Amino acid sequence: MLTPLVKSGSLPPNRCHFQSFWPMRPDRYNPRESEPFWQRAWEESGIFHSRNDDPRPKYYVLEMFPYPSGRIHMGHVRNYAMGDVVARYMRARGRNVLHPMGWDAFGMPAENAAMQSGAHPAVWTYANIDTMRRQLKSMGLSLDWSREVATCDPRYYKHQQKMFLDFYKAGLVDRKTAKVNWDPVDQTVLANEQVIDGRGWRSGAPVEQRDLTQWFFKITDFAESLLSGLDTLERWPEKVRLMQRNWIGRSEGLLMRFAISGDGPSSMVEVFTTRPDTIFGASFVGLAMDHPIVRALAEKRPELAAFCDMCRRTGTSTADIETAEKQGFDLGIAADHPFLDNVRLPIYATNFVLMDYGTGAIFGCPAHDQRDFDFASKYALPIVPVICPPGVEPKDVSVAEGPYTGDGLLFNSHFLDGKTVDAAKDEIAARLEARRIDGAPQGVRRVNYKLRDWGVSRQRYWGCPIPMIHCDACGVVPVPEKSLPVELPQDVEFDRPGNPLDRHPTWKHVACPTCGKPARRETDTMDTFVDSSWYFARFTDPWNEAAPTTASAISNWLPVDQYIGGIEHAILHLLYSRFFMRGMKATGHADIEEPFAGLFTQGMVVHETYRGATGWLSPADVRIEQTAEGRRAFSLSDKGEVEIGSIEKMSKSKRNTVDPDEIIGSFGADAARWFMLSDSPPEGDVIWSEEGVQGVARFMQRIWRTVGELGNIAAPVGAPLPATLGPDAFALRKATHQALAKVEDDIVRLRFNRCVAHANEFVNRLGQAIGAITTDQVGADLAFAAREAAEALAHLVAPMMPHLAEACWRDLGHAEFISSAAWPVADRDLVREDMILLPVQVNGKKRDEVLAPRGADTATVEGLALASEAVQRALEGRPVKRVVVVPGRIVNVVI
RNA sequence: GCGGACGUGGCGAAACCGGUAGACGCAAGGGACUUAAAAUCCCUCGGGGAAUUCCCCGUGCGGGUUCGACCCCCGCCGUCCGCACCA
């Protein structure tokens, strides 16, 4: 089980000296000894615990918390390395940093493990948490472990149940029937992602569509707010905002009522359209198979029922939808055209109208919609064009080449003729709003969304129980708050399919809180996305036993300043969290609407694949040989040559995974972290390679040597800046501050690959500088510059390679941690060059470079450029038309 | 089909607001040190031609704008991602 949370009053001091023994400087830096040493020292000193009463400006950096699947993978290493760089940098810049970690611990894999091996989900989950916590700690992350939470802990889900009840009271929870994917073998609801080619992912049985009464969060109540809020999220990737915009899918249109004449189950049908302007091109009305009119008619007409069944069977898999032909069934009834007395539109049951969008009914205008066009072509319905494209005469408009969906002017449309599409939409809406049918307006302007309410019911054991009770007398009754948490029973069986909670002998039997008569608990548990929709808020005060959140902690810490995670959560997790924050605001648990001010979506870790005679081979079982002709791979077991395949996301099936424990064991956490941040831009994929990480190991030794060499000639800790500096010392200081400035600029923009390049460049320059120094000539100025350079180097790499940096820092004579030392902010005046090397072009082609004083006037620079021999040669005596001087940038001589 | 992103050496990539294309790393080749290996250090490394100093070509392809284009505009080709009958 989790260690108890530390009470906030008992947090250790923020900084402290350490007394543990650190050996004399070895020639080679040994991460295997150093890393555990520093990890223990950090843990003992508690420097990464953040206090809620710290007066410094806050910074909340968070990486998406892991599901405790068993072991961490390289994707975690990359994710958490990035977050740790930000956390450590911001801490060095004087911020009060919150950098917590927890576990997204409910979910199906725990139940699958229980079914396969008999281990109780809780036992399995907590064992995994222990393993993964140890692995994360071996990475040297600057996490505040005192705030650790696991969503499967009753101390966490108790508060989630409380908020469910508050949402319920606030009208944000609904109970309604909905279509679900039902696995008849496992007897459970499947998420869409768990339906593969129409079959359950686990049982392989054909999935049925069932109507089930489910609990819903009314996320659609916030559709407009969730959409408009996206505009305020300036530090989110545009790609993610766009995906959310499309997912919410706002469209403006008109609800239109058509009268149905003659016999039938209804005298009226309501459609939703975004194109009311095309009403004079309408030639049919289409209904979804589950539309009430179709259902009513199907009860009396077996051939219609058979048609509907046939259509329902297809459409589960995406491949079917792609190829499905438009199908219709003429219901034999017709709708009256609202403006043409003698026109009646035939009504069809169709397979391409969706029941859960709009009203489940459309009017079809084949001339201006692809689907309607396909349908009309198949069933020989009229295709009447009513929009005339710009630059075309109405008499020349043809529908032979398919529908026209663009803008234009109306024709064939009576009172709309000559109007623009927008004006025509307004005109139709205004006219229908003024008319009444069955006592209601015939037209109502309406905004429609693709966004659906969030169904949170799951027929599973390992999730947060929904705190509701069903009473035959009182109906649905919330569990009283004093009875929370509704805890999961421990004694459950996984020997049969279905929900163990439902068949538990006693758990669900409970007295009705209202009337006291025997009643039943809700046996559905919540979707695990609920758990992850507010954990970032819980981290601000995980010690509060009385309430989910503490107002002061929420307003101090939220929003999260930098959230980092995979793009795969671009929609659901991030949208649900944004909804939850709004719900928490509405119920007094929070005071803001947007939980994540900054979002960064990092790329995947990929690796090449190896395919031998017997199948895929793991990188650990392959030896790579470098030859001039290229790379060849051989199996370690049978020595046979294996094919080097494509580079793909690390996956168990392709066996191209690398185990973080092994990498950390042989190269160290610093090397793994550094490699993850180097080479590739963080939003792109990074290719893991053995050669690359070996290169990092060499670089680490180089840093260690460089710091040692500089340390040999460095001034004592805290030595003052000498009054005068010789040219060598001045150049060294300049290089130091240039490197600092570059890393500062790139680290805040999360361009870690560039930070790595700057660090490499700096070490190269330091190597040259050291090579030029002979020991007997070191004066106070150079000694100062050497100390400054060595300390800057340690600081530069500290966010990424914290252990090595600590060792260097200690080696340079510091008693405190570099992890709690202040960042040596670059002196930007020192960085500025007095003389600038300006490229000179002739007609846009570079011919020479001239050295000019910074801020030299145009005439001077022009004179220098024209005096250049290379420029004169390129001119070949031709007259100069013009000289373009971009100050501080470039000169272009135009001939 | 709709929406979006991307395309630069052998490879991963840099290039700020339209201003020196290829920083930095990996791989490769050559050399120094060494009995040898490892480690370390130095040199070369987009293509072509003169053969270190010079010239031509080069950022998927074809046009355009500009003194100047990897960058902006138009049209293609290719790759990847998201959504998918949304009325």
- Provide the β-strand partners of residue A116: none
Q: At a CB cut-off of 8 Å and minimum separation 6, what does A450 contact?
A: A246, A247, A248, A249, A357
- Strand ranges for A412-478 from DSSP E: 436-437, 440-441, 443-448, 454-455, 457-458, 468-471, 475-478
Taking the CA of residue A625 and the C1' sugar atom of nucleotide B70, their distance in angstroms comes to: 35
DSSP A560: B
CA A105 to chain CA centroid, nearest Å: 19
Q: Is the CB of A317 under 7 A from strand B?
A: no
State the Cα–Cα distance between residues A611 and A283, nearest whole angstrom: 58
Using an 8 Å Cβ cutoff, are A141 and A533 in contact? no
Q: Is the CB of A452 under 7 A from strand B?
A: no
Provide the pairing of β-strand A284-287 with A344-350. Answer: parallel
DSSP A519: E
Q: Which two tokens stand for residue A730?
A: 């001045």
Taking the CA of residue A23 and the C1' sugar atom of nucleotide B29, their distance in angstroms comes to: 42
Using an 8 Å Cβ cutoff, are A51 and A87 in contact? no
Residue type, A455: G
Q: Which residue is nearest to nucleotide B20 (CA to C1')?
A: A839
Strand B contact nucleotides, protein CB < 7 Å = 1, 3-5, 11-15, 19-21, 23-29, 39-42, 54-56, 67-69, 81-87
First to last CA, chain A: 79
**Element housing A287 (H / E):** strand A284-287
Q: Number of C-alpha atoms within 13 angstroms, CB side, residue A586?
A: 22
All residue ranges of chain A with pLDDT < 70 are 1-24, 192-193, 196-198, 313-324, 626-630, 775-776
Q: Which two tokens stand for residue A675?
A: 């490699």
- The pTM assigned to this predicted structure is 0.92
Q: Which two tokens stand for residue A683?
A: 């939003």
Residues in A 240-259 whose C-beta is less than 7 A from nucleic strand B are 242-243, 246-247, 249, 251, 253
Residues in A 840-869 whose C-beta is less than 7 A from nucleic strand B are 841, 843-847, 849
State the Cα–Cα distance between residues A789 and A706, nearest whole angstrom: 10
pLDDT of residue A583: 98
Using an 8 Å Cβ cutoff, are A893 and A871 in contact? yes
pLDDT of residue A216: 94
Q: Is the CB of A567 under 7 A from strand B?
A: yes
State the Cα–Cα distance between residues A374 and A371, nearest whole angstrom: 5
Q: Which two tokens stand for residue A501?
A: 């909670």
Q: Is the CB of A676 under 7 A from strand B?
A: no
Q: Which residue is nearest to nucleotide B28 (CA to C1')?
A: A628
Using an 8 Å Cβ cutoff, are A120 and A114 in contact? yes
Which long-range CB contacts under 8 A does A24-28 form with residues at least 24 apart? A25/A708, A25/A811, A28/A701, A28/A704
For A884, the 3-state DSSP assignment is strand
Q: Is the CB of A689 under 7 A from strand B?
A: yes
Taking the CA of residue A608 and the C1' sugar atom of nucleotide B84, their distance in angstroms comes to: 32
Quick check: ipTM above 0.90?
yes
